Chains A and B, each alone.
Chain A
Amino acid sequence: MKSPHRITRRVRKITAFVAAGALMIAMAACSSGGGSTSDNSLAGAGKTGTDNGSTLTLWTRAPLEKQAKLLVAAYNSSHKNQVKLTVVPNDDYVAKVGAAAGSKSLPDLFAADIVYVPNWSKAGLFQDLTSKINALPYKDAINKGHLKAGTLDGKEHVLPFVLDLSMLFWNKELFKKAGLDPDTAPATLAEYAADAKKIQALNIPDTYGTATGLNCGGCLVFTWFPTIWASGDQVMNEAGTKALLASANAKAEYAIWRDLWNSGAVLPSSKDEAGPTWTAGFTQGKVGLMFYPATLLSSTTFDAGVAGIPGIKSGASTFVGGDGIGISKDSKHSAQAWNFMTWLMSKDAQVGVLAKDGDVVSRSDLANNQYSEKDPRVVTINKVAGEGETPVALNFQQAFNASDSPWLSLVRNAVLGDGGGVAKDNDAVTAVLAQ
């Protein structure tokens, strides 16, 4: 039955298959090899890494999408290497990185919430960059909090990607309406509460004195820790294994917030706010003053004042948050990835991209630049950044950020509940930290 014609057709079909397969393999080899045969390891890379037209992958979480996009676009337009950016929703980021780490498919570069960096460094997700970072001429100027968070047993793993600081923002127009001085920030938390109540007393519909995220552990860490620091206390011991959240200053802080909440000067939805919309009220001009992320300065359209977060009696501090960035253990393009990281630390990126966008620079020697001079608020932020802190603990996520964290229970009991039991709740935080 088989005609010679049929056989040739079958042979042709098989040849086509083989050819297609070979082509696919060749393409795969091409993309993984980056089209070059040179050494891609970190050790073989020069001071600024390799720029040879490789494709790099970069993951970041959604809150820093704007800054990440600007940085990647600027890098891609000035380098042969091309960075492919993937933005992951905040809540899914840990799960996605975890799954990728298990299947050895992490991207070349990835940013991590700075409070998770100690844990991720310990899990071995980042490559050791100690010798590379030490060789940077401006190493001493790089933000210390971020470097410290990425240091494990004397080995450095991350550089700051984007800094995000918690600052006191106030709506100058609402301040004027309430008869407050729009150019002076409250100097203590008690003054802050008094100002919030005055704005509340204006009785403008849908407008509230202040707002916060009372069901969002991450927001509360970010905005409430600085008050304790500014008052001269610590939130944890040096090793990050013991909580110190029942100090007199901490208790005073909870008491002021408790009074504020009971007085009705806090945006009501703050009570259930789990994070997604915790800044929305202020952004829309419906909140008088609040502790707010400095990365949102550039998207604040109205006239807002900016200052450090005040302590109980005096002082100011900030939470130096944001994301650190490192080269993943799975990267096959470490030399190229290092090229991106050194560029990220350069003046081109720090001033030309971040400062231009109104963001905080990661190098103190670049804090005064042509953009910061135009906006004194940026100078304020840069100055407070030097006084801020980045808490370091291995179990930070479980103790503070998780939706079922003991820190969240502590704040909710102290502010919304009966106000007692802070010492007991503090022990519960310690129990998780000490695991």
Chain B
Amino acid sequence: MSVIADAPTKRGSRFSTTRSRRSALQGWAYAAPTAIFVLVLFVIPLLLVFQMSGSNWPLLSGNQGVNFPSNYQKAVTNRFFVDSIVFTLKYTVLATVLLIGLGLGLALLVQESSRWKGFLRTAFLIPSALGLASASLLFYVLYSPFAGPFAELMKSWGFTFLGTPNGALFSTVFLIVWRFAGFYMLLILVGLQGIPDEVYEAARIDGASRRQTFTWVTLPLLKPTLALATVLCVTGSLLAFEQFYILTKGGPDNSTITVVQLIYNVAFQGQNDLGIAAAISVIVLVALVIINIAQIRSFRRAPEES
């Protein structure tokens, strides 16, 4: 503090410039670890992907030189490109609506103090402690018509969970809801508890019904939390991979190929072309940036209007 106070005086100026230079250096030193991490783990890989997407780069023989824009042409003409985008969007809408809706419902349920509060919160949150890949494996066995506990049931109904395109989609969505509903509940619960009691009290004094309180008090004040939850959920769903890789492998009949799975297939399962895979990755990255900006904008604009 004293250094800053001294700064404007003439006598201390030389002293303070060395001081401020030193503190600037210190600042850089503090920021350096993060900066290095970002550079090494984010910026360099990103640049590498850009380079790959513009190069002929087979998995097994490495960089063979620039061939821009051929990878992008091959990426958009891939026979699963359009199908995978349509499927990913379908899955994203389903998962987001279900997860945010259910998360909100569960949060409202466990927010009220009741005897079961602690138990319910824990019960809803426990699946989140399981890794997504492990959870997918667990459901793989559950859904298995050969080894699963529902094998008998499936046989008598003549139906398998992962055997039809819609069955596979909804079975996977069920796994995701089971795995993530608790997480979104927690996220929304934090937002709910951040709403001051005074506002509710005022609403009560004004004679607002329960429903009115929810629509006109809870929802508007929960908007930032809902925005965060939606951005997380949409981004996560658009990048869905493990659950489909383990449960369906894109099947049956290529009906559940997500965009990231297409990238993986092109890179490692047959075509083995990192260049085309990188080109799809860049396209997905650009799309994600645009979608996220649009989402954040739309959530930001709303409170200003009201």
Contacts and interface: CB of A to CB of B under 8 A. Distances in A.
A272 B163 contact: yes
B250 A95 contact: no
A102 B251 contact: no
Interface stretch (B34-42, B87-95, B264-272): B264-272
A274 B270 contact: no
Interface in B133-159: 144-147, 155
B60 A120 contact: yes
B61 interface: yes
A274 B60 CA distance: 25
Given A271-B163, A404-B257, A124 B268 contact: no
A404 B84 CA distance: 12
B249 A102 contact: no
Interface string B251-275: 1111001000000010111111000
B58 A402 contact: no
B62 A102 contact: yes
A398 B58 contact: no
A274 B146 contact: no
A268 B61 contact: no
Interface string A388-415: 0000000101110111110001001000
B268 A98 contact: yes
Given A125-B60, A272-B160, A397 B269 contact: yes
A274 B245 CA distance: 12
Nearest to A120: B60
A269 B270 contact: no
Contact of B268 (A95, A120, A280): A95
B285 interface: no
Contact of A281 (B146, B163, B267, B268): B146
A94 B250 contact: no
Would you call the interface of chain B mostly helix, strand, loop, or mixed? loop
Contacts, number: 85
Contact of A403 (B144, B251, B267): B251
B162 A409 contact: no
A403 B249 contact: yes
Nearest to B57: A102
Interface of A is mostly: helix
A98 B270 contact: no
Contacts of B296: none
A358 to B, nearest CB: 26
Interface string A75-119: 000000000000000000011011001100000000000000001
Contact of A94 (B61, B144, B162, B268): B268
Interface in A211-237: 215
A403 B269 contact: yes
A397 B265 CA distance: 11
B200 interface: no
B178 interface: no
B68 interface: no
- Most B CB contacts (10 A, CB to CB) among A119, A281, A398 go to A398
B146 A269 contact: yes
A404 B60 contact: no
B50 interface: no
Contacts of A271: 160, 163, 252
Contacts of B251: 215, 272, 274, 403
A280 B160 CA distance: 18
A277 B60 contact: no
A402 B146 contact: no
B268 A409 contact: no
A272 B163 CA distance: 6
B231 to A, nearest CB: 30
A123 interface: yes
B60 to A, nearest CB: 4
A269 B265 contact: no
A38 B256 CA distance: 55
B251 to A, nearest CB: 5
Interface string B43-79: 0000000000000001111100000000000000000
B24 to A, nearest CB: 28
Q: Which of A101, A125, A272, A398 has the largest number of chain B CB atoms within 10 A?
A: A272
A280 B250 CA distance: 23
Given A97-B60, A272-B251, A402 B270 contact: yes
A401 B269 CA distance: 8
B80 interface: yes
A389 B267 CA distance: 29
Contacts of B267: 95
Contacts of B252: 215, 271-272, 412
A280 B146 contact: yes
A404 B250 contact: yes
Given A95-B268, A215-B252, A398-B271, A124 B145 contact: no
Interface string A265-280: 0011101101001001
B163 A101 contact: no
Task: In the A-B complex, list the 7 residue pairs whose CB atoms are closest, starting with the nearest.
Answer: A398-B270, A402-B270, A123-B60, A98-B59, A95-B268, A269-B146, A403-B249
